[in-house]
Amino acid sequence: MSQNKNVWVSHPIFPEVIDRLKLYVDVITETSHEGHAPEYLKQRLGACDGALLSLSDLVDETALIDNTRLKVIANMAAGFNNLDLTALARRGIIACTTPGIHNETVADYAWALLLTAARRVNAAERWVRAGQWKGLRYDDWLGADVHEKTLGILGMGRIGQAVARRAQGFCMTVLYNNREPLPPDLEQSLHARYVDKATLLGESDHLVILVPYSAENHHLIGPRELQAMRSHAVLVNIARGGIVDDAALAAALREGRLGAAALDVFEGEPAIHPELLALDNVVLSPHIASAAHEKRLAMALLAADNVIAALGLGPTPGEPPTAMDLSKYAV
């Protein structure tokens, strides 16, 4: 039921999301997951009232030149890193994200990466597939314990807290650093202790990075920070590329100054620093920490609701629409 509004969906997405949008607007969809050239992105944005984008769609001042139609952009993600918020605000264009839905899913994946890196599962699995396993040896594939070790969390937001809750099952000591300490009752419930960044780096056996990306946080973990970490430590980054200096990390791993790493995000992704690709003591995955089916569907449906609401055509975000049951993605 269109009201003469067009919404562009920049990448193929779940049919439920398209059906949801079609109740209110005309929908323009893409058939390829390939990235869009800047001129094509500008053209599409200039011809629509709203857009559902992924983090790979970079919207800057150039993409918005002469755009007088666009009213809202909704990222199907939790962050704004792909959007020039100043340029959008100058034109009165609303920017929306989908925070909160994937907290537990991402925390699960942080633990999957941590355990894989600590116990060398990725390298051992490749070794087996290559036909190298000829029998048991007592000193083969020795990894690092996780239980009863010290877990450091850099960034204690909702996902960091979910990671900390899981650490209780491993009887770990949990340290964290954040812009501000948590309220005492919450800190106590998580069995976590606030420390400064230097202490966090120096005492953690395993470090999970969960801070948002910003200019201030660019290379927050660089050569000096890596040097301060324990030589057996495992570093996990599921936050954003650019927070860790990937070249410095590769050097620390190669030279044995860090035990292992697990990365779901990279500087300049999908490009990956070539030295990381050559190392066996790093786990690499393609930015999939939130990639559980029900959560990705929920994020996309919420993004659709955000666009519909911003165009004044439907319920406000978070209110269950009457047209279909979306209770399974409500938060």
Q: What is the number of other CB atoms lying within 10 angstroms of the CB of residue 317? A: 17
Q: Which of 30, 104, 203, 269 is catalytic?
A: 269
Active site residue 240: yes
Can you state the percent helix, strand and coil of the chain, rounding each to 5? 35, 15, 50
Q: Which of 47, 5, 17, 109 is nearest to 296 (CA)?
A: 17
Q: Annotated catalytic residue: which of 240, 267, 273, 296?
A: 240
Q: d(Cα 207, Cα 321) in Å, to the nearest integer? A: 41
Q: Please report, to the nearest 10 degrees, the dihedral formed by the alpha carbons of residues 42, 15, 239, 59 taken in order.
A: 10
Contacts of 106 (CB under 8 A, 6+ apart): 159, 162, 238, 289, 290
269 is catalytic: yes
187 is catalytic: no
Q: Are 62 and 38 in contact (CB under 8 A)?
A: yes
Catalytic hit among 20, 119, 287, 296: 287
The catalytic residue positions are 240, 269, 287
